[in-house]
Amino acid sequence: MGSQSDWPTMKHGADVLDALGVPFEARIVSAHRTPQRLYEYASGARDRGIKVIVAGAGGAAHLPGMAAAMTPLPVFGVPIESHSLKGMDSLLSIVQMPGGIPVGTLAIGKPGAINAALLAAAVLALSDAGIARALDAWRERQTGAVAEVPAEAAP
């Protein structure tokens, strides 16, 4: 993520990965404030054994696109909800990549962080039976938690 201030959003994705038993690392890497850290992180990720990168950033959100430019790994971008433009700036910054350098872009904020984690797990599940089973179980639990009849609304 681009900043400590992104963590309350990105933590929702981290919680999903924890629940699925997917090992991950959470790092602050700012495209603007720590460009050298971004270069080292993204260009070295594959050699360190990283398989998928989830990059959350807000505002002029260059982190996912710049990371994607420096690694062949799949990169999923999470637009953080900004104060001034409610994350529309983040969304458009991340989603409008030029052809040739893809960033899979998720929804703004918490749903995007959750779905980026699920999508990353789905990629890993293609070659990891344990993660595939965990994902199946996660979906079954989600389905089982949906009531057929709405509960009485609180007065």
Per-residue x/- mask for ligand RP5, residues 87 to 106, rule CB under 6 A? --------------------
Taking alpha carbons only, the member of 3, 9, 1, 4 closest to residue 115 is 9
Q: Quick one: which of 17, 55, 58, 79 contacts ligand RP5 (CB under 6 A)?
A: 58
Encode 128-154: b = buried (16+ Cβ within 10 Å), e = exposed: eeebeebbeeeeeeeeeeeeeeeeeee
Give dist(CA 79, CA 59) in Å, integer: 8
Binding mask 61-80 for ligand RP5 (x = CB under 6 A): -------------------x
Indicate whether 6 belongs to the interface with ligand RP5 (CB under 6 A).
yes
CB of 56 to ligand RP5, least distance (A): 7
Q: List residues binding ligand RP5 (CB under 6 A).
A: 2-3, 5-6, 30, 32, 57-59, 80
